[in-house]
């Protein structure tokens, strides 16, 4: 199975300006995703799709192929589907077709090589169209609207008696290439790879970056 890893890293970011090039444990944020993808032997090519020349330069320095993203695919409201589709179709003009596409968002720098390998192993053995990474959740959810709190559950109970829930963490999306070519990331048949909360940090703010830094310096990720 030929797998293309796609790392989307546009230049603009309102929540955390310059986010994709912010240093984390001594290297730019997006490089953590490039490095872990290149270390996985089952990934055939690692692509960074970006509208930024600076990001492209960094990506090339660390061994990624760069696909220039047109301006209309680099807006705040641009959905991810056409971005990944553009990256896949651009590369398939140059190289042999791929069987699957692995979307690795640079805002999830704590995923490990083992996470990638286990996800690919599950995906290859499953009839699923899309595999996504999740983490377990044991809390109680509420809606908060105009100062009024409304529970999203029927009854309370002991934690051990509650049915376990899982939350999408944004670290791994593995999809059949034919779906991506048609402009989709999610098929009808879904599977999941469960990651621990400690590797599920999604960086949107400066506080998230500090948390990821603390976790990286206290834990060995392979």
pLDDT at 159 over 80: no
Least trusted range by pLDDT, from 13-17, 127-131, 145-149, 167-171: 13-17
pLDDT at 222 over 70: no
pLDDT band at 41 (very low <50, low <70, confident <90, very high): very high
pLDDT band at 133 (very low <50, low <70, confident <90, very high): very high
For the stretch 79-105, pLDDT in tens is 999 999 999 999 999 999 999 999 999
Average pLDDT, the chain: 92
pLDDT band at 219 (very low <50, low <70, confident <90, very high): low
What average pLDDT score do residues 42-49 get? 98
pTM value is 0.90
What average pLDDT score do residues 40-49 get? 98
Give me the residue spans of the domains in the chain. Answer: 3-134+165-218
Phi/psi-derived region of residue 164, left when phi > 0, alpha when psi is between -120 and 50, beta in every other case = beta
What average pLDDT score do residues 61-82 get? 94
Distance of CA 40 to the CA centre of its chain: 15
8-state DSSP, 198 = G
3-state secondary structure of 94: coil
Catalytic residue among 2, 22, 121, 156: 156
Q: How far, in Å, CA of 186 to CA of 134, rounded?
A: 15
Q: How far, in Å, CA of 6 to CA of 106, rounded?
A: 10
Indicate the angle between helix axes 29-39 and 113-125, nearest 10 degrees: 50
Residue 191, CA atoms < 13 Å, CB-side half-sphere: 18
The CATH H-level (homologous superfamily) assignment of domain 3-134+165-218 is Spore Coat Polysaccharide Biosynthesis Protein SpsA; Chain A (3.90.550.10)
pLDDT at 67 over 60: yes
Nearest to 84 by CA among 16, 174, 200: 174
For the stretch 3-12, pLDDT in tens is 999 999 998 7
CA triple 11-174-217, angle to 5 deg: 60
Say whether 199 is catalytic: no
pLDDT at 164 over 90: no
For the stretch 18-28, pLDDT in tens is 899 999 999 99
């Amino acid at each position: 199975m030929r797998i293309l890893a796609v790392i989307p890293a546009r230049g603009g970011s309102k929540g955390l300006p310059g986010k994709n090039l912010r240093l984390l444990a001594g290297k730019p944020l997006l490089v953590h995703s490039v490095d872990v993808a290149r270390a996985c032997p089952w990934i055939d090519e690692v692509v960074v799709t970006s509208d930024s020349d600076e990001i492209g330069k960094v990506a090339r320095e660390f061994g990624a192929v760069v696909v220039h993203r047109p301006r209309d695919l680099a807006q705040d409201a641009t959905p991810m589907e056409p971005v990944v589709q553009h990256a896949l179709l651009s590369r398939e003009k140059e190289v042999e077709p791929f069987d699957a596409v692995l979307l690795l968002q640079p805002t999830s720098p704590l995923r490990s090589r083992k996470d990638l390998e286990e996800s690919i192993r599950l995906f290859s053995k499953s009839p699923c169209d899309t595999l996504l990474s999740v983490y377990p959740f044991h809390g109680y959810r509420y809606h908060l609207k105009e100062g009024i709190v409304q529970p999203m559950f029927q009854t309370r109970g002991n934690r051990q008696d509650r049915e376990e829930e899982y939350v999408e963490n944004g670290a791994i999306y593995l999809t059949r290439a034919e779906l991506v070519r048609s402009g989709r990331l999610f098929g009808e048949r879904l599977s999941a790879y469960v990651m621990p909360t400690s590797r599920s940090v999604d960086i949107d703010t400066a506080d998230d970056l500090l948390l990821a830094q603390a976790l990286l310096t206290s834990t060995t990720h392979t």
